[in-house]
Amino acid sequence: MVSGETGGGVGGTGVEVAAVAVNPNFVTYIGDVIDVTVTLTKPASAGGVTLLAAVLFDQGAGNYQTQDPSGFTFPQPITVAAGGTVAKFQMVRNGQPVASGNCVVAVEVEGGNAVEGASFVIN
């Protein structure tokens, strides 16, 4: 899992990503869908927050790196409305070539200090 420092969050509001969950935790075929749920540490402040997401690929020995193309399509940006604590989105396995292996979908609040992730496998 990717983890960073816990800090002040957006504009000092302290809103950060608390957890990321995926279902299912694997994809096999083009068109397969992973549902992603992101939970914040507290409700989004006035104006909401923007989440940034990336797929990281295991390069060996726990070294995770982004890859272009990522092999997945998902919405960018991902937003949480004021007062909200959860964002849900889908990642779809597209036709871009990627190797099989372990991956992480990493999510952070734009301007925040912490990154959280959830693991999945490309079969």
- Please state, rounded to an integer, the average pLDDT across all residues of the chain: 88
By the 8 A CB rule, do 44 and 82 touch?
Answer: yes
| Exposed / middle / buried, residue 34 (Cβ in 10 Å: 0-12, 13-18, 19+) | buried
With bands split at pLDDT 50, 70 and 90, how would you rate the model's confidence at 13?
low
Q: Would you say how long the chain is, in residues? A: 123
Mean pLDDT of 56-64: 90
Q: Residue 88 above 80 pLDDT?
A: yes
Residue given tokens 């060996």 in the structure block? 60
The predicted model scores a pTM of 0.87
Q: In CATH, which of 3.40.50.2300, 2.60.40.10, 3.30.1150.10, 2.40.37.10 is domain 10-122? A: 2.60.40.10
Q: Which residue has the higher pLDDT, 86 or 2?
A: 86
Are 51 and 107 contacting, i.e. CB atoms less than 8 angstroms apart? yes
Q: Look up residue 71 and give its two tokens.
A: 């092999």
What per-residue confidence (pLDDT) applies to 10? 47
Which two tokens mark 19?
């957890």
| Main-chain phi, psi angles of 37, to 5 degrees | -120, 125
Under 8 Å between Cβ of 118 and 65: no
- Residue among 120, 112, 119, 118 nearest 17 (CA): 112
Of 117 and 12, the one with more pLDDT: 117
Confidence of residue 103 (pLDDT cuts 50, 70, 90): very high
Sheet holding 86-93, edge to edge: 17-23, 33-40, 86-93, 72-73
pLDDT of residue 76: 87
